[in-house]
Structures are given as C-alpha cells and as structure tokens.
Amino acid sequence: MSKNVLITGASAGFGKLMTATLIDAGHTVIATMRDPEGRNAENAAEAKALGAHVLELDVTRDESVDAAIATAVDSLGGIDVLINNAGTGVIGWQETFTVEDWKKVFEVNVFGVQRVTRAVIPHMKAKGEGLVIYLSSLLGRVTLPFFGPYNATKFAVEAMAENYRLELSGAGIESCVIEPGGYGTSFMSALIQPSDQERINSLGEAAGAPMQMVQGFEGNLSGENAPDPQWIADETLKLVDADHGTRPFRTVRDGLGMGEPVEAINAAAEASELAIYQAFQLDGMLEVKTSS
C-alpha cells in the first residue's frame, strides 16, 4: 500500500537515496530540505524529477517546521511515515568544542528531531496510526574518540525514540530506529570542527589526531568493498513496507565490523528494559518486538 512519507534532510546522503528508493517502490515522498530555491535548487530539481513533493524545512526553526508539516498535510491528506534523517556530524577533541559548538549540533540532531516529530504526532494521532523512523548511528550505542558531541546527540535520540515507543504505541504510532555504521556519503565531508582554537593549539602534536582518524575512515569508506549507502535506503523501505506490529524497534546496518557488537548491546538492553517495564507495570504500553 502506498504511503505518504516525509523525509527531513532529503537534499543529500541517505535522504536523497531514500527519496529515490521509496518513490521507486510506489510511495509518495515529501522531500524536505533547507533553501530548495537557493543553495539546494539543483537537489530540489532532482527530487522533483523523480516525482517527489519538495518542501522547504529547516529543522532548527519552529515556523519552518510547522509550515512544512501543515502544507504536507493539507496537500496530501496526511503523513503516514516520518523519517527523521536530517543531521550533522563533528570531528575533534571533545574539550575543544565550546558550549556554543555543542548547541549547534544539538539544535539539529536532537531539538530538530523533537520539533518535527512533535509537529507530526497530532496528525498521526488523528488517523490512529503512523510510523516514525529515527536515523541514529552505531555511535548512539557505543562511543569513539573525537566524535563527542555527535555521540551525545545520538545517545539522546535513542532515548527519545525509546520514550516515544512507550508513549505513542497506544495511539497506533510505531517508533523505529536505524543505526548505520560509517558510509561514504556527503556527511563525512561536512563534519563540524571545534571553534576553541586556543585549546586546540595547547594540545600540540596531538591536535591532528582527529583528522588522521577521519582520513583512515575515508579509506575504509571508499573502494570496491566499502559499505554501500543504498543499504540504509533499503532498510528504510523494509520498515515502511512492513505490516504494523511486525517492525523491529532497532535495525543495525554496518559494513566495518561494529554491527555485531552493537546488536549484542541492543539485545541486552531490550531484555533489561522489558524487565524494568514489567516491574513498573509498563509493559502493556507497547508490543515488544525483537531488534534486527
């Protein structure tokens, strides 16, 4: 059955691939992005050529989010699926990121997700059904050095999704998390770097370690055997097409060796949380589904 799917951050990376994949599968896609008539004009034109409905949506601005959601609902009759894909990454020693740097990352990766999800929920509740997909990361379950603020935002998104899973399932709204590993998309070329240059300089030779790590990753993310970003678009399509009540809460998709350990973490967390929910008599709030 064709669904109306709204994707944030659809101008590039996973969002662009999701748009093409979902349209090809027969779904109606609302591809949202910042400045579709300016810096993203070419990306907007490509999405329109595929058959997407393109809307301006800046996840950091309440008025932009509210206007885009209202337009999507009015013009298409509702939103069946929300894909919270928009996000930004970082690279640098954690201590060298100022509080303002942290705010910038949280504004997109956490507050932006809450803005859009909160705007969509009433429309899904009115229909009595819906699906919200959160693009998290393996770094929302484990940490690696030099990605500190990003790690923190993705841990926050994981907690947000778990709470919505409990609070919205009774309204017929399912919550799903996709946890990608590293992929060679435009994401890697747009990493935010810390602004405290004085603190960076104080680190001496160690200051260059974060970029050395990124260069190593880039080598693994290119070439014949590199993970394919299309995998994430395909996993998204599986969730959109799945029947209500059959979707896994978490989906791990990695090609660099981190996936299996994270799946073990997810399985242990699922069992522990279920026990806690049962102890507090909260398990009746959701259908418990195994992670994939």
**175 given a catalytic annotation:** no
What is d(CA 52, CA 20) in angstroms, rounded to the nearest whole number?
A: 8
**64 given a catalytic annotation:** no
Judged by phi (left if over 0) then psi (alpha if -120 to 50, else beta), residue 88 lies in beta
What is d(CA 37, CA 56) in angstroms, rounded to the nearest whole number?
A: 9
User: Where would I find the H helices in 99-147?
Assistant: 99-106, 112-127
Catalytic pick among 11, 64, 175, 291: 11
Closest listed residue to residue 210, CA positions, set 106, 104, 99, 97? 97
Catalytic pick among 154, 164, 183, 291: 154
13 C-beta neighbours (distance < 10 Å), count:
23
**136 given a catalytic annotation:** yes
Catalytic pick among 3, 16, 136, 175: 136
Phi/psi for 9 (5° steps) reads 65, 45
Say how many CA atoms lie within 13 Å of 202 toward its Cβ.
7
Catalytic pick among 16, 104, 150, 183: 150
Report CA-CA distances (Å) from 163 to 97, 158, 167, 212, 249: 29, 9, 6, 37, 12
**11 given a catalytic annotation:** yes
Evaluate whether 3 touches 124 at the Cβ level (below 8 Å).
no
Quick one: tokens of 91? Answer: 């690279």
Residues with a catalytic annotation lie at: 11, 136, 150, 154
